[in-house]
Structure 1
Amino acid sequence: MYSTILFIGLFIILICFLLIIIILIQNPKKGLFYQSFMDKNFRLFGIKRTNNLLEKITWILSIFIFFLTLFFNYILKHNS
């Protein structure tokens, strides 16, 4: 049971880091991650489609973190 708790906890942390990276890529004002990422990887999609894709990924990851956190809390309560 502890391995399941550890796995879910690490998975939540991994998704949080992915969400941070996606949010940093979306901010075109700073230009640090946005310019280098957009020029190399998303040249074929176009800016508008890329922004829509990144926004959808942000929402999906946020909802996924929400439900994983609820599930993690449920497992912790039933484990103790």
Structure 2
Amino acid sequence: MSLVTVFGLFIIIMCIFLILIILVQNPKKDSISQSFLEKNFKFFGIKRTNSFLEKITWSLSIIIFSLVLLFNFFLKLKY
């Protein structure tokens, strides 16, 4: 496997993980999924969990941005 392939797969995995983290976060408005979220976050507390998930979201976004720049750099070197 080449380095470009590894970076491409890692970017795809990070994007899927980011999508899952965003879907788990507590929405700002009250909705049908509110009862689902309350059951899942009963142990951690909504306030602490949301701040933790927000930090993960920002971190993953920065990692994906960096990986895309590196992927572009290695792609230009290869071709």
**Do the aligned residues in 1 keep the contact of 2:4 with 2:74 (CA within 8 Å)?**
yes
Query: Whose helix proportion is higher, 1 or 2?
Result: 1
Percent identity over the alignment? Answer: 53
5+ residue gaps, structure 2: none
Q: Deviations for 1:23-60, whole angstroms, at most 9, x for unmatched residues?
A: 1111435555x7546524x4332110000000000000
Q: Distance in 2 between matches of 1:35 and 1:9?
A: 37
Runs ≥4 residues deviating over 4 A: 29-32, 34-38
Residues 3 and 26 of structure 1: CA distance in aligned 2, closer, same or farther (over 3 Å): same
Question: TM (normalized to structure 1)?
Answer: 0.80
5+ residue gaps, structure 1: none
How many residue pairs end up in the alignment? 77
Q: Cα RMSD over matched residues?
A: 2.0
